[in-house]
Structure 1
Amino acid sequence: MSIVLDPAVQAAVDGGQIRRLDLIRFDLPGRTVGYHRGGRPFTYNGLTYIPNRFLSAGSMSSALGVAVTTRTITFSNIPTADVNDAIAKIEEFNYLNAPVIIAHLCGDPATDQVLGVLASSIYEIDKVKFNKSAISEGGERNLTLSIDLQPPGRSARGSTQVKRSQEEQQFDNLSTDTCLEYASVTGSQPVEWGQKSG
C-alpha cells in the first residue's frame, strides 16, 4: 500500500528537515478534547490542543490468534486543577469504544508552520488504568493515566471474525441476527441451546 503525502510535506521529507508535532484527539460522548506534547496551547482544524499532558504515544503490541493490535498511551498530572480537562475526569464519560485519533503533523523547523499530515491513525478506547507512583518525602503520590487503544472494532475484528456485542454482529450481518443475545450472561447464567425435548 502506498501513502500519498501532500506535495509540501513530501518536499520537506525529501529535504530531510522537518519538525513533527504529535496530536491526540478524543471524541468522548458529548465532548471532544485534544492534547499534544508542546509547551503552549495549539489550535489545529478548529480544536485547541492542551499542552504538556500527553506523555507518550506508546508502542503497538500484537499476538497471534484473534487478538487485535493494541496501543497504550500515557498522560500525566491526574487529577488536575483545570475543571474543563476531560481526560482528568474521563470516568465521568461513557468512554468505552470512544474514537481516538493520533496524528503526526509535519512542520517547517525554521518557521514552525504546519505543512500537513505525515500520518494519522484511528483507534477506540478499550481500557483505562490509573497508575500510582511511590510516596514522596512530602507524603504525596503522582498519578499517571494509561489508556489502552484498539483499532476500530469492526475493521479489526472483521479480519479476526471476533465480535464483542450483538450490535456489532447485527451491523455486520442482519439487523435481526440474535447470535450474541446471551453472550454477556453465559458465564453466570445457564442457557439452553438447541432444540428442547418433549
Structure 2
Amino acid sequence: MWLPADTALWTTCHIVFDTVNGHVPQHRIDTLFPLTDGEVAVTAGNLFVDSFHAAGDGSYNRSSTFVWGTGAFGLALAAGTLAASAAGNASRRNQAAADAQEAWRSLFGGTLFVTTGGFYIHTRQGLFRWRWEAVDLMQVVAFNVVIMQARSTEGPVTWRLTSEWAELVFALWALHRHPNHPQLRDGTWPPTNWLPWATEQGYRPHLDRPQLAP
C-alpha cells in the first residue's frame, strides 16, 4: 500500500536528484518567515524530537512520615503508615535511578521546514534555524528517523528526529557536509528495497546510486 510517507520519500528522491545534478529543486513551498538570499524552501511536515540525556542525578526526597497511635487500631495505623512510607521511598528511589540513566527522552514536537541551506523547526516557543554547517554528524537509523549531533547556541546536542522528511534532511546535509558518508555513498539511506518496490507501484524515483558517488 502506497502511504503518504512513501510520497514524501518519492519527493525526497526527486529533490536529491536535482541537488546532485546541480539544479535548484523543482519542488518548492512558500513560508511565512523570510529565507536568506538564494535559499529555497522545499518541504514541510510534522516533527518529533527526542534528546539523549539523563533526566536526573539519582537523588530523591526520602519520606519519613510516621503516625503514632495506641491500642490495636493505633498500632495497625502506625504499621500501615510505615509500609506506605517505605513503598513510597522505594518507588521514588527506583524512579530516581531510572532518571539517572541516559536514554532517549521526548523533547518537543513541531513543524519541520527543509530548505536548500538547512532546516527550520517551528514550535510554540518560536522559530529555530539550523544551518548544515552546525550539524557535525547524522545517520539514518530507521524509516523516517535520523540521529544528529550538532552545535547549538546552548552547547552540543544529540537529537533523534522523527519526520516523513528525515531522509531528506540527511541526504541534503550529507551532500553539503559529508559527500563521502557511507550511507550516501552506497545508497542505503532509503529503506531496503524501497526503490524497486516504488518503481513496481508505478512511481519511478529519479535516483541512481552511481550519481551519488563522490
Give the alignment's TM-score, normalised by structure 1: 0.23
Greater per-residue helix proportion: 2
TM-score, normalising length: structure 2? 0.21
Higher relative contact order (CA 8 A, sep 6+): 2
Query: More strand per residue: 1 or 2?
Result: 1
